[in-house]
Amino acid sequence: MLKTSLTGSPVETCSFRGRQFFIKRDDLLHRSFSGNKARKFYYYLDNHFEGINRLISYGSTQANSLYSFSALAKLKNWHFDFYVNRIPSYVKSNPKGNYRAAIENGANIIDFSTLSPNSEMPNGNIETYIKHEVIPNCTDTIFVPEGGHCKEAAYGVNMLAKEITDWAQQNNIENINIALPSGTGTTALFLQQYFIQQKLPFKVLTCACVGSDEYLKKQFFELCPTQQFHPSIINAGRKYHFGKLYDEFYAIWKELREETGIEFELLYDPLGWISLLNYLAITPNDTLPVLYIHQGGLLGNETMQPRYERKSSLKAGSNACLNASRSS
Model confidence band, residue 139 (pLDDT cutoffs 50, 70, 90): confident
How are beta strands 54-58 and 141-143 bridged, if at all?
Answer: parallel
Angle at 255 between CA 251 and CA 261, to 5 degrees: 140
Same fold, 3-31+151-306 and 42-143: yes
Report DSSP letters for 84-138, one per residue. ES---HHHHHS--HHHHHHHHTT-EEEEGGGS---TTSGGG-HHHHIIIIIGGG-
Model confidence band, residue 327 (pLDDT cutoffs 50, 70, 90): low
CB burial of residue 304 (10 Å; 0-12, 13-18, 19+): buried
Reply yes or no on whether the pLDDT at 319 is more than 90. no
Reply yes or no on whether the pLDDT at 320 is more than 50. no
pTM for the structure as a whole = 0.91
Rounded to the nearest integer, the mean pLDDT of the chain is 91
Model confidence band, residue 104 (pLDDT cutoffs 50, 70, 90): very high
* Beta carbons of 98 and 71 less than 8 angstroms apart: no
288 Cβ neighbours under 8 A, 6+ residues apart: 175, 176, 177, 203
Reply yes or no on whether the pLDDT at 317 is more than 70. no
**Residue 35 confidence (pLDDT):** 83
pLDDT digits (tens, 9 = 90+) for 38-57: 899 999 999 999 999 999 99
Model confidence band, residue 162 (pLDDT cutoffs 50, 70, 90): very high
- Sketch the domain layout of the chain as residue ranges: 3-31+151-306, 42-143
Segment holding 154, helix H or strand E: helix 154-170
233 closest CA partner among 249, 255, 209, 266: 209
Q: CATH: 3.40.50, 3.30.70, 2.40.160, 2.60.120. Which one for 42-143?
A: 3.40.50
Reply yes or no on whether the pLDDT at 108 is more than 50. yes
CATH architecture, range 3-31+151-306: 3-Layer(aba) Sandwich (3.40)
- CA distances in angstroms from 132 to 94, 112, 146, 205, 264, listed in the order given: 33, 14, 16, 36, 38
Model confidence band, residue 312 (pLDDT cutoffs 50, 70, 90): confident
pLDDT digits (tens, 9 = 90+) for 178-223: 999 999 999 999 999 999 999 999 999 999 999 999 999 999 999 9
Give the count of beta carbons closer than 10 Å to the beta carbon of residue 132: 14
- Its sign, for the CA torsion 182, 18, 10, 248, is positive
pLDDT digits (tens, 9 = 90+) for 254-303: 999 999 999 999 999 999 999 999 999 999 999 999 999 999 999 889 99
